[in-house]
Structure 1
Amino acid sequence: MRGVADQDFRLVFGRTRIDYDPAKETANRKKHGYSLESAVHLLERIMLPTGGPLHHAVSDAFQENGETRHQHMSVDDNWQVVFMVTTMRPDETVRVISFRRAHETERERFRELTGYRER
Structure 2
Amino acid sequence: MSRGSVLIVEDEHLLGNNLQEYLRRHGWQAQLARSGEGALEAFERIRPCLLLMDYELPGMDGFQTLGAIRARHQCCGCILMTAHTGEIVVTQARQHQINHVLYKPFALAEMEQWLQQEAGRCNCGTHPA
Higher helix share: 2
Q: TM-score, normalised by structure 2?
A: 0.31
Higher strand share: 1
Q: TM-score, normalised by structure 1?
A: 0.33
